[in-house]
Every structure is written in C-alpha cells, then in structure tokens.
A = this chain, B = another copy of it.
Amino acid sequence: MAKPKKTPRPKAETPKGFRDYFGAEVAQRKTMLDRIAAVYHRYGFDALESSAVETVEALGKFLPDVDRPNEGVFAWQEADENDRGDWLALRYDLTAPLARVYAQHRHDLPTPYRRYAMGPVWRNEKPGPGRFRQFYQCDADTVGAASVAADAEICAMLADTLEEVGIPRGDYIVRVNNRKVLNGVMEVAGVLDPADPDRFAQERGIVLRAIDKLDRLGPDGVRALLGEGREDASGDVTKGANLAPAQADAVMGFMAARGADGAATVSRLRELVADSATGREGVDELEEIATLLAAQGYGPDRIEIDPSVVRGLGYYTGPVFEAELTFRIEDEKGRLRQFGSVAGGGRYDDLVKRFTGQAVPATGVSIGVDRLLAALRAKGRVGSDSAGPVVVTVMDRARMADYQSMVAELRAAGIRAEVYLGNPKNFGNQLKYADRRGAPVAVIQGEDEAARGVVQLKDLALGAKIAESATLEEWKSQPAQIEVPRAELAARVGEMIAGAAESLEWE
C-alpha cells in the first residue's frame, strides 16, 4: 500500500523584511506615541485613522524615491467578473492618504483642518539590515492654512514634542529653510526658468537630493553631484546635475549661507536671491517664521534657520523643516557619531489639487518613530510600565484555586500578577520562568505554609542571581525571602515592589 502523502509543514517565518515586536518594545513605542499624541492634541490637532488600503489611483506617485516613482508599493488587483477590478495598495506614507481624506470629506471638515495620524506604512523595497518593509510613521499636518503661521506652529510643536518624549533642550535643533529661497538661487544661477519651472525638473531633483546628502557626503561630494556626478567607494556611479561651475558655486554658496544668527542668515540669503521674486518671497517667509517663533520664546537654541536643509521630497513648495538630535552616540564600530535627523516636513500646496483641481495649502511634519525611539533608548529615556508580573508558583496542583485567588487579590490591589500555568512538577522550572518574566517577587505556598496560613515571598529583584540553579531548600534559605501571613499578601508584596523600585537607579 502506498504511504499517504504528507503535506509539507509551512515555514514559521515572517515574510522577508517584516518583523515582530514583543512586550517592552511595543510598550515603549506606545508610551512615546501617547506622549506625542498628547502634545498634538494640546495644539488642537485631531486624530485621523484612515484605512491601510487605498486605491493605487488615489495614492498617486509621490514615493520619496523619485527615481522610480511607480515602484515601491504593495499592490494587487481586486477580483471582479471581468478581471478589471480596481488596483489597491497598502499606503506608503500618511500624507498621500491625508490628501485623499481631505478631498473626500472637505465639506464636513473644519478649515483649516489640523490632524495627526500614527500607524504603520508599507514599502515594497529590498529589505536590508535594519531596513524594514513595514514601519511606523507619526504625522501632524494643517490643511487649508496658507499663512506661514501654520508652519511656525508645526516647528514649535515639533520642539515641544521632542522635549515631551524625553529629549532635553540642547540635545535637539529644529532647522528651517524654504524651498522658494533655493528656487530663487537656482533662478539667479540660471538652473531654473521662472517662466517654465518644469523645464529643469530633473536637474532640480538631482540638486535637491545632492544637498540633502550634505551630512553624509560632505561639501566635496555634494559639489561632485551638482556637476558631473560621483563614484562612491564601491564603484557605484550617481548621475550628476551637470551644472556649470558658476551655477554649482551659487548652490554651494546657498548651503553655506548660515550666519552667526538668524538675522545674519536672512540678510545673506537676501543677497543671494537678488531680484528673484520667488526667492524674495521665500526669504520674507523665513523671516516671518523666525519672528513668530521668537515671540513665543522659541529661540535659536531650539529652532534656527539653516539653508542646508532641503528635504529630498519633490512635493514641498515652501518652508521645509527638519529636527536633528545633536548628541553623539557610538555607532556599530564604536565611533562617536551625531545621532542625526528624527523628523522632517514642510509645506506642500499641490497634493489635494490632484483630486479637486483647486490648490489647497498644507503643511506638516512626520516623525521617524523608530529612529526617535532608538534615540530615547540610547539616552536611557524610554519609559513604560513594562515591569514583569509577580509570579505565584504552584507547589500543589490540587490547590490551583487557592493560587488563583492569590493573583486575583494582587491584581485587585493594582499589582501585575500571574499564576504559573506550566507543568508545576519541577519547581526549578517555575523559578526559571519567574526569572525569565522579570518577576519582581515570587509567591510560594506549599502544604506546610497553607496549614499555617502563611506565604513565602521571594524578592527576585535582590535574589535574581541565585535563581537559575537554586533548589527549593536553598531558595528558602536566602535572606531575600520572607514569610508573611496569607491575609497580608497583597500589602506585603506591594511594599516589596516599592522597595525594589526605590533601590533601583534610573536606567
């Protein structure tokens, strides 16, 4: 007789480029996002949660990587009788969906509409180390406000947000620039034609991306990209913008226009844009933003004008901003490096127009959730209630109801607690489990203790080191263990946890 065929077992793996987040990771991110949301809320922004799935048509082609605007999304076609269903896709950011939402619901939304959104986005890109195809974004945008007061507000809110989540003043800087200023400089240098701004779109794109790489490539690298292009250490060649040397000099001069203070920077920018109307408008806007922020007390120690900030995205039309963390951390090779950018944004006045035909001014910011969280971890500033539970061990399987009553009492007293639910036979395994769970206290009650109406409390925060190999008798002989009346269980466990918390330094 033939053997029955076996179905092969499925592989227990996340798809390539995806990952799972456990316990403290989830809790820490949530704590951070809750704090951010509280600031956004205080600024009058309302939550919006749009669907993860959009039509490909609505999403449009605004992926940050302008070299291949058609790629990068996870998309599929709806089945219908004629195989001509809509193409759907997972959102790749939170801005494209906002444009769709605003266009769809604009008659029911207040104008201006301030909204924030937090959630995963998806990119169909080649995964790499630390590079995932699903990640969180956290955005705040104001739609329908043409005034640069809206941009200033976003900058102030960004500074407040960073301080609220735990980045102290002095450890971050919000840099502000204006695309119009750069456009003005490019007009003056003949890289842009004010009468036909689309004519040099490609060159402009290359220039923007080149400037955006200043941090990484330095001035020489950027200069090469403005000219004929650049070959990196691995031999990969990046195409250049092919600007004439004088044009490239003008752009480099723009990037270096930062003066000793905002007023000095503004005055140098004013020279550089000469009589370009766009350029002057941009400088005026920068000046107004600086004035508004200064009036609210946001000085250059928090927010400053910096012409080297351009942001790579093609759709920005005016002010652009970026939050950088200025402290240093060790990289994987032990070298100290500046932490770098954790948020960025700007004004984009054309996104809603795609749907409605009418220009709708909009400005906003997106926080890189994973990067900011990494920064907080590096600074030891992640806070979350991720302490392990008190573990009530099971000495006597027949008295499970008693043990469950104990955890119920502990929980009623607000103490995180669980009963050991594995096979209770090997007591050492229970202690190992408590250790693995990061339990602050283990509760032990055998037959003898039950008869005497007491429980043993083991302070694991103090006794963690011996837990791995201890037998029950060794365990009991440790000084970190005390016997208390059963009736005092919750009160005494509470004291023990409070004591352990006191003796712990801020990690």
Query: Which residues of B lie under 8 Å from residue A354 when comparing CB positions?
Result: 9-10
Contact of A103 with B by CB under 8 A: yes
Closest to A389 in B: B44
Q: Are A12 and B422 in contact (CB under 8 A)?
A: no
**A122 CB to nearest B CB, Å:** 7
Query: Which residues of B lie under 8 Å from residue A291 when comparing CB positions?
Result: 401
Query: Which residues of B lie under 8 Å from residue A422 when comparing CB positions?
Result: 111-112, 144-145
Contact of A234 with B by CB under 8 A: no
Interface residues on A, range: 35 or more
Number of copies: 2
Q: Are B355 and A53 in contact (CB under 8 A)?
A: no
Contact of A74 with B by CB under 8 A: yes
Contact of A19 with B by CB under 8 A: yes
Q: Which of B10, B25, B421, B437 is in CB contact (< 8 Å) with A57?
A: B10
Task: Contacts A11-B55, A26-B47 given; indicate if A75 touches B74 (C-beta within 8 A).
Answer: no
Q: Are A134 and B103 in contact (CB under 8 A)?
A: no
Q: Are B104 and A421 in contact (CB under 8 A)?
A: no
Q: Are A11 and B110 in contact (CB under 8 A)?
A: no
State in angstroms the CA–CA spacing of A280 and B58 once bound together.
58
Contact of A156 with B by CB under 8 A: yes
State in angstroms the CA–CA spacing of A120 and B134 once bound together.
14
Query: Which residues of B lie under 8 Å from residue A10 when comparing CB positions?
Result: 55, 57-58, 60, 354-355
Query: Which residues of B lie under 8 Å from residue A78 when comparing CB positions?
Result: 15
Task: Contacts A12-B103, A147-B421 given; indicate if A18 touches B357 (C-beta within 8 A).
Answer: no
Q: Are B26 and A48 in contact (CB under 8 A)?
A: yes
Residues facing B in A56-101 (CB within 8 A) are: 57-58, 60, 74-76, 78, 86, 88, 90, 100-101
Q: Are B149 and A400 in contact (CB under 8 A)?
A: yes
State in angstroms the CA–CA spacing of A401 and B144 once bound together.
20
Contact of A22 with B by CB under 8 A: yes
Q: Are B23 and A47 in contact (CB under 8 A)?
A: yes
Q: Are B60 and A48 in contact (CB under 8 A)?
A: no
Query: Which residues of B lie under 8 Å from residue A506 when comparing CB positions?
Result: none
Could you mark each residue 103-130 of chain A with 1 if its beta carbon is under 8 Å from any beta carbon of chain B, else 0?
A: 1110000111010000010100000000
Contact of A332 with B by CB under 8 A: no
Residues facing B in A461-477 (CB within 8 A) are: none
Query: Which residues of B lie under 8 Å from residue A436 when comparing CB positions?
Result: 110
Q: Which of B41, B101, B401 is in CB contact (< 8 Å) with A296?
A: B401
Q: Are A104 and B419 in contact (CB under 8 A)?
A: no
Q: Are B74 and A49 in contact (CB under 8 A)?
A: no
Q: Which of B76, B385, B404 is in CB contact (< 8 Å) with A75?
A: B76
Q: Are A53 and B22 in contact (CB under 8 A)?
A: no
Task: Contacts A12-B103, A44-B417, A54-B15 given; indicate if A156 touches B408 (C-beta within 8 A).
Answer: yes
Q: Which of B20, B142, B400, B416 is in CB contact (< 8 Å) with A44?
A: B416
**Which A residues are closer than 8 A to B by beta carbons?**
9-16, 18-23, 25-27, 30, 41-44, 46-55, 57-58, 60, 74-76, 78, 86, 88, 90, 100-101, 103-105, 110-112, 114, 120, 122, 133-134, 142, 144-147, 149-150, 152-153, 156, 160, 291-292, 294-297, 354-357, 385, 389, 391, 400-402, 404-405, 407-408, 411, 414-419, 421-423, 433, 436-437
Q: Which 3 A-B pairs have the closest CB atoms?
A: A44-B418, A295-B401, A12-B103
